[in-house]
Amino acid sequence: MHASLGLLQDANRTVGQRIVKIREAKGFTQDGLAQRSGLDRSHLYRVETGRQSATVRTLKIIADTLGVRVRDLVKDV
């Protein structure tokens, strides 16, 4: 595996884990967050598990729905 690909996958997992942690702390289920944000639940699942990179637009939608800043999802990544 190319080193930069591994770093990207690590970053995706880290961001996904942060989304899950914040989502659960705010009392959202994955389905609930998907419905309130207008995102497809399967897309949200792939982002949360780090299987798919989130676009800035998707991160903004998630952050706004959770009441946090995009910075809170991606800091130190």
List of domains in the chain: 3-74 (1.10.260.40)
CA distance 23 to 38: 15
Joined together, the tokens standing for residue 7 give 């770093």
- Provide the whole-model pTM: 0.91
Q: What are the tens digits of pLDDT across the range 12-22?
A: 999 999 999 99
User: How far does Cα 54 stand from its chain's mean position?
Assistant: 7
User: Above 90 in pLDDT, residue 1?
Assistant: no
